[in-house]
Amino acid sequence: MSGRPQVKEYMTREVQTVSPSDTVADVARRIKETEGHNGFPVSEGRKVEGFVTARDLLLVGDEDPIFTVMTEDIIVADPEMDMIDAARVMLRSGIQKLPVVDDADNLVGIISNTDVVRSQIERATPEKVGKLMRTLEQIHEITVHQESRTVRLDDLTPTQARVYADELEGRQYELERGLAEPLVVIDNGGDLLLADGHHRVMAAYQLGIEEMDASVIVLDEKVELGMQRTADKEGLSSISDIEIADYGRHPLIETTQRLQE
């Protein structure tokens, strides 16, 4: 469990589907009459066989069956997948909806762009900070307190070696519109460790931003932190050491073609 929002928390469970044997006219009528739908998963029972969109219905005959025009090799996700990873897949694939299947390959839900936005708006930074503060106090038997500060990006030591290029686009969008959350930083005797917000920091760095707001957890005495040892081991001393990587295939992403093999 990553502690981040997962697909199963935000997916729509009551999924409207169409049958492979439905006609183009049938589905066109459904799209017109159903508010907010521009396409449907195509399923026989609970098994997903494809996806059909309004675009697929162009320039084909009204009586053509949907199985002849649907997209068969579609991307599907696992309920346990992080929402941010689902968002990344949707962005890279240029799709607006992502069907969700269980271990038996049965359709259990669907995720839309709107669900992705909702999951990010509802992120609860105060809870995240509070949990980290309690963890530090329990593990190291120290007291901590929280401060709101503006921190210089050049003063931060990252604790994550890699960020994904496509997620930076979304973080830059937030920064340009003043929508970004504060960073979460640990002040360990003057060493400022970036605990949360690596994508935001790298997006800001690319935009030429030098300072950002942060929720700073101040340790009342300096201790040896595991995340600091990890940063040292990976050679992370400044944000310029963070690698920007393209996103590869996520282990919880499949395609219907692979599921049928």
pTM of this prediction? 0.55
Report the CATH fold assignment for 124-245: 3.90.1530
Helix, strand, coil percentages in the chain from 3-state DSSP, rounded to 5: 35, 30, 35
**Helices marked H in 122-255 — which ranges?**
125-140, 165-176, 198-206, 226-233
Question: Measured between alpha carbons, how far is 45 from 14 in angstroms, rounded to an integer?
Answer: 14
Residue 97: closest CA among 82, 114, 78: 114
Domains 7-120 and 124-245 share a fold: no
Indicate the fold that domain 7-120 takes in CATH: CBS-domain (3.10.580)
Domain boundaries, the chain: 7-120, 124-245
CA distance 213 to 148: 7
Q: What is the pLDDT of residue 124?
A: 47
> In this structure, what are the phi and psi dihedrals at residue 106, rounded to the nearest 5 degrees?
-90, 145
pLDDT of residue 123: 58
CB 51 within 8 A of CB 39: yes
SS3 38: coil
d(CA 113, CA 121): 13
pLDDT at residue 1, rounded to an integer: 42
> What does the pLDDT look like over 172-215, one tens digit per residue?
877 887 877 889 999 999 999 999 999 999 999 999 999 999 99
pLDDT at residue 9 above 90?
A: no
